[in-house]
Amino acid sequence: MPRIGRWDDLPANIHQHLIDRMRDRAIGLGDLNQLRLWIESQPEVPEGDWYGSYPKTFLLPGRAAKGAAL
């Protein structure tokens, strides 16, 4: 199974995109820190259309993980 890339290795455009989405969706620093800790654990993730090496957005509750690639 693929693994999520390290937080420090996020490309600059993805890092900025996550910061922008954090602000748009009222994601707190505590939530962002939990994501960072999860990423640093190098979790295995299922393969699929929206899975990849890095997280690319924050979903709102009830929203499906589908959309256009970045």
Report whether 55 contacts 18 (CB < 8 A).
yes
Task: Identify the three-state secondary structure at position 56.
Answer: coil
Q: Is the pTM of this model over 0.75?
A: no
49 near 10, Cβ under 8 Å?
Answer: no
Greatest CA separation for the chain: 32
Q: Give the per-residue pLDDT at 19.
A: 83
- The DSSP secondary-structure symbol of 48 reads S
Tokens 């499906």: give the residue. 64
Domain boundaries, the chain: 7-40
Distance CA 21, CA 56 (A): 9
pLDDT at 3: 78
Mean pLDDT by 10 residues, the chain (70 residues): 78 86 84 84 75 74 68
Quick one: pLDDT at residue 22? Answer: 84
